[in-house]
Amino acid sequence: MKTTNKAWLVFISFILVMVIIACSCGSLSPATPSGSVATSTQAIGSATSESTHGMAGKWEETIFNDIHTIVWQNDGYVVVSTIHKPAGVNYPITSQSWSNGVLTWTYSVPGGGEDTIKTVSLTPDNGILSVAWSNTGGNAGTFIMQRVP
């Protein structure tokens, strides 16, 4: 199967999973791009210090099978690692920023490309972090990450 066909298959599968989740879980609230969120979620930018309900921790996303580790450091969030679970490969983080309550980071992937992730909203009670992503291949989308131990 060609790489573009695989990418479309993954993208369509992701959309199907999101539709199933949205239809089966009435408590999910859609995030807004500005970082402000509905009442069941909190704006990430409201953090002035890390708390037990903050964004620090390990976050798993099952679309690309990566685990992202975020810590609170020097009055802001920092990504310290992005690990591809199946291979145990730590993708090098090439840039990141914490600005106006939004954490954005870019990391290199095998083959010379880069992926960028930007936080959108945090639902601390459910351990859900909503993010937007894009890559150097021109693909983009959104997905959720689940907090893991």
Q: According to the model, what pLDDT value does residue 23 have? A: 53
Provide the residue ranges of all domains of the chain, joining segments of one domain with +.
31-148
pTM reported for the whole predicted model: 0.66
Q: According to the model, what pLDDT value does residue 81 have? A: 96
Q: According to the model, what pLDDT value does residue 27 have? A: 40
Q: According to the model, what pLDDT value does residue 118 have? A: 97
pLDDT of 17-53, one tens digit each?
555 565 554 444 444 333 333 333 445 554 455 554 5
Low-confidence ranges of the chain (pLDDT < 50): 25-42, 46-47, 52
CATH code of the region 31-148: 2.40.128
CA dihedral 123, 140, 18, 149 (to 10 degrees): -40
CA distance 111 to 148: 28
